[in-house]
Structure 1
Amino acid sequence: MIQNIWAVGRNYAEHAKELGNEVPTEPLVFLKAGSCATLAAKEIHLPTWGTDIHHEVELALQFDDNLQIDEACVALDLTERAKQAQLKAKGQPWTLAKSFKEACPLSGFFTVNDLEELKALDIILKVNGDIRQKGNTNQMIFTLEALIDFVRQHFPVMPGDLLLTGTPAGVGPLKAGDVAEAEIVGKITHKWLVK
């Protein structure tokens, strides 16, 4: 069971720049509700109140019973960008923009034997066959080990929790009728119909 989703913002320098944000000097972590995750679903249902839902493709790590990483998947950190901008301008929490129903679509999981396996993987998101996002895990500002250590040190991480490791540049809107296909090259691919 996924209780918590510990999500890392601005872990790829080009993504921080595209949103006009400073590159952080320590991991920027925000919380998504575990209940907003959908596992290996075929569809994404956008919230009816949303006007500008953006995709953010990420490598997601899952903590095992010993709070080590034994599985991973490809995830979408869906963000209601207009609402996020309003909330940020007021200095208010981003929860409504980041933690709505189905705000974290996941692929199936694959086994991780060693974090080294995840160090130089391409992450790609296609929408309607066009590449929107493409990055490599070697472009992360903070390493996987640093992120894992940071969240375990600062937060009440539970077995089954997810760690979203950040998104490469190229985020953009999703709309009903789109087909989103996320891939961690050599590991897993998953496709969703957006509704």
Structure 2
Amino acid sequence: MKSPFQSTSQLVHPIQGTEDVFPVNQVYCVGRNYAAHAREMGADDKESPLFFSKPNWAVVTPGTNIDFPPDTENLNHEVELVIAVGEDMSIFGFGVGVDLTRRDIQAKAKEEGKPWFRSKCFLGSAPVSEIIPVGDRTDFSDLNLTLSVNGEIKQSGMCKDMIWNPKEIMCELAGEVPLQAGDLIFTGTPEGVGKLEIGDEVVAAITGVVELSFTIS
């Protein structure tokens, strides 16, 4: 059986400490997973997790500069622990990512009761660090997430403050979609989200573990 066109090549992402790569499948995101951030966004911090998705072409590799997206005057940063899903609902690895959001478009969509698609889905909206193999790690609560802009810390939060931990998120999400090896899950952001401008130098990190840096161009 022949295809009428040539399919695009599989998107892959670097794995720390090896030349192997992680094949990126679907990209899922969790909203309102830190109580303080839920409150700063005017949401109830006791609701079930809010899921949405990004296209896998939104994922960019470490060191890639990101073009300021069109149609927005309020591009926001949201630093997050990213889980890389392995076979049989396992956790293959993890990293740090930034859920870039066109906040003004999102606010208008919320007011009009429309989906968040345009606010979350654009080229470069999901930068992710190298994937770190999980090894024997079963708990992520000791990890500290930070994000700085031009050398100034804007976000800092411990993964222990998540409302839903990574395994709970995976179980909830698997009830909605067929989670597969190669999926990435952005697990939510701590408080302190803020605006980015052209020329800003951004460094997201899991303290002492991995860093992700990029410039808004």
- Is TM-score (shorter-chain normalized) higher than 0.5? yes
Q: CA RMSD in A?
A: 1.3
Q: Matched residues in 2 for 1:158 and 1:35: separation?
A: 17
1:79 aligns with 2:101: yes
Tell me the SS of whatever aligns to 1:192. Answer: strand
Count of paired positions:
195
CA contact (8 A) 2:74 2:103 kept: yes
1:113 aligns with 2:135: yes
CA contact (8 A) 2:96 2:210 kept: yes
Residue 12 of structure 2 corresponds to none
Residue 31 of structure 2 corresponds to 9
Residue 182 of structure 1 corresponds to 204
The 5 Å alignment of 1:1-195 reads 1-195=23-217
- Larger RCO of the pair (alpha carbons < 8 Å, separation 6+): 1
Q: Matched residues in 1 for 2:157 and 2:126: separation?
A: 19
Percent of aligned positions that are identical: 34
Tell me the SS of whatever aligns to 1:7. Answer: strand
Q: TM-score, normalised by structure 1?
A: 0.95
Q: Which amino acid aligns with 2:79?
A: V
In the TM superposition, structure 1's runs of 4+ consecutive aligned residues that sit over 2 Å from their partners are 113-117
Unaligned runs of 5+ in 2: 1-22
Q: TM-score, normalised by structure 2?
A: 0.86
Give 1 or 2 for the bigger CA radius of gyration.
Answer: 2
Query: Deviation of residue 186 (structure 1)?
Result: 2.2
Query: Deviation of residue 115 (structure 1)?
Result: 4.6
Q: Matched residues in 1 for 2:34 and 2:156: separation?
A: 11
Query: Deviation of residue 116 (structure 1)?
Result: 3.1
Query: Deviation of residue 105 (structure 1)?
Result: 0.6
Q: Matched residues in 2 for 1:103 and 1:19: separation?
A: 20
CA contact (8 A) 1:178 1:194 kept: yes
Q: Which amino acid aligns with 1:57?
A: V
Unaligned runs of 5+ in 1: none
